[in-house]
Structure 1
C-alpha cells in the first residue's frame, strides 16, 4: 500500500498484510473461472496451495476487477484514437498484474510508461518474483534493459518501473524527484503532456484525508504544466462505514490493528466525487460495487459467473458490495481535450452496446 517512514515500518505491517488478502482473493477468482489472469500465480508464493475463497469474495473480486479494467481499457482506447500513448501510475500497486495483462493484450500499443509504487517490503518481493518468473520477465521486453535498483527494492525496464515511495511525505519532496526530474537518460520518468491515469486500489482509505488531498492536488498541478495536460484517476475503496454493517467491518479490521482514517470523511456515495472536485479535478463520479454489478456488468457475463458457483448469500453480497465503491475523476487543461475525453467512465449496459 503505502511506503512508511523507517520509524513506523513495523506499525504498518498490518496494512501491508492486506495485499496478501487481495492477492489470495484474486488467485481464488482465477482458479474458479471468474477472471482470466495467467500472471497472478507468479506473484503469490505457493499459489496452487491456497484455499479457494467463498463465492461472495470471488464475486466481489470479479466486479471490482471488471469495472477497473473497463475504465483502464477505455483510457487506452481514447489515447490510441488520439494517436497518443498514455502513462499509468499505480499507487499502492501491491501484487497487481495489470501491467502484464495490458502489455500482453490487444491494447498494448496504447501504453507508454507504467509506474508502480508501494511499500519497500512489497516492492522487494515483487521485484524478486518478476526476476524469477520467465513469463513476467519476458513481458518486460529486452532482458538487458531490466535491472534491479535501490538495493533490490526497485526494478526498472523500458516501460515498466517498480519503485518504493512514501506517499505520506510531501509530494514536492518525493514524487517530484522521482517522476518529474530528469533520469540518467535525460528524460523524465513521466510526461505531463501525455494522458496520465492514476490508480488507487484500497490505498487512500489508509491515509489521512489531508494527505491524500495533497497527493491529488500535486498531480493536478503537475498536469497543468502542460498546455495539453489530461489526468484521470480511479479510486477503489470502502466507504459508508458509519452504519451497523460498516461498524462491524471497522471493528474486524481493528482486531488486526488496521484503521481507516481516510474512510471516515466519506459516509455516502455522493460524498466520494468531492475527493476529486475539491482537489482541482474537472469532473468526477462514483458508483458502488452493488450498482456496478446490477447495471454495468454485461448480462452475458452475469449469466456466466452465475454458473460458476452456487451463491446462497445474495442479501449479504449486496450488503458487502454496497460498502465498496469505484470513483473516477478527470482533469483537463482546455475544452478541446474535454470533447475527446469528457465521456470517459463506466457506461450503463442499457445505455450502450459497449461491453466492459
Structure 2
C-alpha cells in the first residue's frame, strides 16, 4: 500500500481509517463497464476524504489491528524455523497478507478464502498494481485484466504464488469439501485459522460445522477469532438489540450476535469443539485493552488523537470478543485470560 502514501496521513488513527477505506476501494474497482487507472485514483481520493472517523472508531480499529497482529507475530516468531500456514476465512479485501509475506514468505504459506466475486475483485486489484504483486511474490502473468462486466464474470478467480493463495469457496460447504483448498494446503502443518468478523455472518449451524471440521481435519491448528457479541438482553444499554436493528436497516444479518452474546457462551462454544480449557483464551476487547497492550503504547497513541468518550470506548470494546484456541502443539502466548 506504499503506493498510496499512507504514512503521509498526519494521525496514526487516520492511517488505520485510510487503510480501511482503501480496502473498500477493492469493491469499487468494477463500478462501471470500463476499468481505468483514473477510476482507481478517484476511489483512492474518495478514501482520503473519508478518513475523518470518530476517535472511538479509530481507537477500536487500532486495538483490533494491533491485538490480532500481536497473536500472529507470536505464532510466527515461535515457529520461525519451520514452514507454517495462515488460513484467512472470509478474507475479502483484507490487507494483512501484504504486510506479512514480504517479511515471512520463506516460512509462511498464506491462504485467503472468500466468495468467488470477492476473490475476483481482489485478484484484479492486485494484478493492477506492480507493488501489490511484488508484496505477494506474484510473477508477471499473461492473464488480461477484464475491461467490462462480462469479462469479469467469465474469468478465473484464483491467484497463486509460491507463498500466497487466493481461493474462491463458499465456507458453508468447506466442511464437506477438503478438496476446495488447493493441493498446496497441508492439513498436517501448523496452521493459524484467522476469522476476523467472518463467522458472525454465518448461520449458527454452518459456522459451528466449519470450525468443527477444521478442528478435526487439521492435526495442528490454532483458531484466532474476532467477533462481535450482543451482550446480555437484560443489560440497560440494550447494545445487541440496537446493533441488530441498525444492521437490518442496511440489509445485514449477524445470526450469532445474540446466540453467543457473552464471553461465557463464546468460551463454552469453543470447548464443544474439543479444545482443552488450558489451550483456550477468550477475552473481550476491553480486557485486551487493559491487560495486553503495554501502558507506554496506550500513552503514545493517546497523544495522537484526543479521545474523551472513554465510557463509550469501554462499552464498544466489551461487545467484541478475541478468541484464541490451539491443539496439536503448545502455543506459548504468555497472555492473561479473562476466564480461569
- Quickly name the TM-score band, shorter chain normalised: 0.7 to 0.9
User: 1:20-53: per-residue Cα shift (whole Å, max 9, x none)?
Assistant: xxxxxxx89x763148779777643323333421
Whether the 8 Å contact between 1:156 and 1:162 is mirrored in structure 2 is yes
State the match for 1:177 in structure 2: 179
User: 1:299-348: per-residue Cα shift (whole Å, max 9, x none)?
Assistant: 1210111011111211111111111111111111xxxx33xx2x336458
Whether the 8 Å contact between 1:127 and 1:152 is mirrored in structure 2 is no
State the match for 1:344 in structure 2: 333
| Cα shift at 1:199 | 0.5
| Cα shift at 1:74 | 0.9
TM-score for the superposition, normalised by structure 2: 0.79
Residues 1:71 and 2:82 aligned together? no
Q: Which runs of 5+ in 1 are unaligned?
A: 1-26, 224-228, 349-356
Whether the 8 Å contact between 1:39 and 1:100 is mirrored in structure 2 is no
Q: Aligned equivalents of 1:345 and 1:252: distance in 2?
A: 37
Trace 1:1-356 onto structure 2 (pairs within 5 A): 32-34=11-13, 43=23, 44=25, 45-46=43-44, 47-80=47-80, 83-105=81-103, 107-111=104-108, 113-141=109-137, 143-144=139-140, 151-169=155-173, 171-173=175-177, 176-179=178-181, 188-223=183-218, 229-241=219-231, 242=233, 243=235, 244-282=238-276, 283-332=279-328, 337-338=329-330, 341=331, 343-344=332-333, 346-347=335-336
What SS does the aligned partner of 2:125 have? helix
Q: Aligned equivalents of 1:36 and 1:260: distance in 2?
A: 28
Whether the 8 Å contact between 1:70 and 1:346 is mirrored in structure 2 is no
Whether the 8 Å contact between 1:88 and 1:196 is mirrored in structure 2 is yes
Shift of the 147–189 alpha-carbon distance from structure 1 to 2, 3 Å rule, reads: farther
Whether the 8 Å contact between 2:240 and 2:258 is mirrored in structure 1 is no
> Which moves more between the two structures, 127-136 or 46-55?
46-55
What SS does the aligned partner of 1:250 have? helix
Q: Which runs of 5+ in 2 are unaligned?
A: 1-5, 26-42, 145-151
Q: Aligned Cα RMSD in Å?
A: 2.6
What SS does the aligned partner of 2:221 have? strand
State the match for 2:37 in structure 1: none
Q: Aligned equivalents of 2:254 and 2:211: distance in 1?
A: 18
Whether the 8 Å contact between 1:231 and 1:331 is mirrored in structure 2 is yes
State the match for 2:36 in structure 1: none
State the match for 2:32 in structure 1: none
Shift of the 100–170 alpha-carbon distance from structure 1 to 2, 3 Å rule, reads: closer
Shift of the 79–146 alpha-carbon distance from structure 1 to 2, 3 Å rule, reads: farther
User: 1:86-137: per-residue Cα shift (whole Å, max 9, x none)?
Assistant: 10000011211111111123x44431x1111112222121111101112211
Q: Aligned equivalents of 2:20 and 2:158: distance in 1?
A: 20
> Which moves more between the two structures, 146-155 or 277-286?
146-155
| Cα shift at 1:279 | 1.4
TM-score for the superposition, normalised by structure 1: 0.76
Q: Aligned equivalents of 1:146 and 1:87: distance in 2?
A: 28
Q: Aligned equivalents of 2:49 and 2:82: distance in 1?
A: 42
| Cα shift at 1:269 | 0.8
State the match for 1:354 in structure 2: none
State the match for 2:35 in structure 1: none
Whether the 8 Å contact between 2:14 and 2:51 is mirrored in structure 1 is no
Shift of the 344–192 alpha-carbon distance from structure 1 to 2, 3 Å rule, reads: farther
Q: Aligned equivalents of 1:35 and 1:104: distance in 2?
A: 24
Question: Aligned residue pairs: how many?
Answer: 296
